[in-house]
């Protein structure tokens, strides 16, 4: 089965089973999403959601966060991964957003990437969710599931290579949803160590099981 054919079957399945997927990070306003995504690097969404309510209450807007010190932010995020680095990123990013962008979150991924603590994946997540841009963010779940389902070439060994392969298979109008579909499938079904293949609606086309239709 060709990759394009396999991909179309995947998207049709996901559209039927999960027509409106969304991020599992909790946020109310745009800058809170950016903060949550920065905190989620090498950390679970559940852990991030556990710390952000108190963080957002203490620093309710970018202006208050920009005037804080990293040491003031640190106690609120001490249980996430790399808290000292992330505390510094949040304060510095807030300062730049207030100073250079009027407190608004840029829509252009390359501009987002210029912010402290914001890499390509974070920039694509934020611009996809907030502005519905046709970009794909490749995290560990997307990387793993894309390979297991045969959506990307086996030689695509980097997140950027996977991103390019997926962009060739996913129409722009579906990319935002496809990002969430692959993440959620990897988080709850196609687990890293013990994938729940018996619960997977895509098992018939999964090359990992040696099955095709």
Which residues are the active-site residues? 121, 139
Tokens (6 digits) for 83: 């808290």
At residue 138, what are phi and psi to the nearest 5 degrees?
-105, 105
CA neighbours within 13 Å on the CB side: how many for 50? 9
Asked if residues 73 and 91 have their Cβ atoms less than 8 Å apart, the reply is: yes
Q: Report which secondary-structure segment, H or E, holds 171.
A: none
Tokens (6 digits) for 167: 């962009």
Q: Which of 31, 22, 27, 21 is nearest to 48 (CA)?
A: 27
């Amino acid at each position: 089965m060709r990759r394009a054919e396999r991909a179309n079957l995947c998207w049709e399945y996901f559209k039927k089973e999960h027509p409106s997927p969304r991020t599992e990070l909790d946020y109310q306003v745009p800058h809170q999403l950016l903060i949550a995504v920065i905190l989620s690097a090498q950390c679970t969404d559940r852990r991030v959601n556990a710390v952000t309510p108190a963080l957002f209450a203490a620093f309710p807007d970018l202006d208050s966060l920009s005037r804080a010190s990293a040491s003031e932010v640190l106690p609120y995020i001490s249980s996430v991964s790399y808290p000292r680095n992330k505390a510094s990123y949040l304060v510095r990013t807030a300062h730049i957003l207030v100073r250079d962008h009027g407190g608004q979150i840029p829509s252009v991924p390359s501009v987002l990437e210029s912010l402290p603590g914001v890499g390509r994946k974070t920039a694509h997540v934020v611009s996809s969710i907030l502005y519905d841009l046709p970009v794909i963010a490749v995290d560990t779940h997307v990387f793993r599931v894309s390979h297991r389902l045969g959506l990307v070439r086996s030689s695509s060994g980097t997140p950027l290579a996977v991103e390019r392969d997926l962009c060739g298979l996913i129409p722009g109008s579906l990319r935002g949803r496809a990002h969430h579909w692959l993440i959620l499938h990897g988080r709850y079904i196609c687990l890293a160590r013990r994938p729940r293949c018996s619960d997977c609606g895509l098992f018939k086309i999964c090359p990992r099981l040696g099955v095709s239709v």
